[in-house]
Amino acid sequence: MDGLAERPPPNDAELLLRLVRGMTATDFSGVFRQGLSARELMAVITALPTRRLNELTDRARLLALPAEEQRQHHQRQRLAVAIADARDGAEISQIELARRVGVKAAAVSQWEAGVTQPTGLHLASLLRELPELKELLEELHDRPPPAVQASG
């Protein structure tokens, strides 16, 4: 026998994985949204891994909010990403940044998760400790706000 071992033909699960991984996002979403009853679609949705299901549920809840609250949420998230990116760029840990700013590490974690926002004084301290943050915030200011969907 030469070095090439004969591989068994792929089973249906392997064939399905290849197919789905090769689909465009549009094709993939079309397969799961079209032609399924609400009950069948919910069965697909609830079979998602917990993290993905939670993300989808959070997104659905966000879209149910009035447009102004959606915009505020997006602003918090954009600030959160800017803080995390600036901290990563400065190559310091959340614990070290918290020490420098004079807060608990949990506060920095919450800022970076978009759960809370820094106060004006803490934002000033962040700008002093993370020089790149000013540039990232200016970029955010120059970008148009994300489109929001009207709540029903």
Least confident segment among 1-5, 51-55, 95-99, 117-121? 1-5
Residue 132 buriedness (CB in 10 A; 0-12 / 13-18 / 19+): middle
Residue with tokens 């790149």: 132
Residues 6+ apart with CB under 8 A from 101: 108, 118, 122, 125, 126, 129
Q: CB atoms < 10 A from the CB of 111, how many? A: 27
Model confidence at 124, pLDDT cuts 50, 70, 90, reads: very high
Ordered DSSP codes for the chain: --S-PPPPPP-HHHHHHHHHHHS-HHHHHHHHHSS--HHHHHHHHHTS-HHHHHHHHHHHHHHTS-HHHHHHHHHHHHHHHHHHHHHHHHT--HHHHHHHHTS-HHHHHHHHHTSS---HHHHHHHHHH-HHHHHHHHHHHHSPPPP-PPP-
Q: What percent of the chain has pLDDT over 70?
A: 89
Q: What are the residue ranges of CATH 1.10.260.40 in the chain?
A: 67-142
Indicate yes or no: pTM above 0.75: no
Model confidence at 10, pLDDT cuts 50, 70, 90, reads: confident
CATH topology for the 67-142 domain: 434 Repressor (Amino-terminal Domain) (1.10.260)
d(CA 19, CA 150): 35
Q: Are 123 and 129 in contact (CB under 8 A)?
A: no
Residue 34 pLDDT more than 50?
yes
User: pLDDT averaged over the chain?
Assistant: 86
Residue 145 pLDDT more than 70?
no
pLDDT in tens, 50-83: 988 888 888 888 889 999 988 888 888 889 999 9
What average pLDDT score do residues 107-122 get? 94
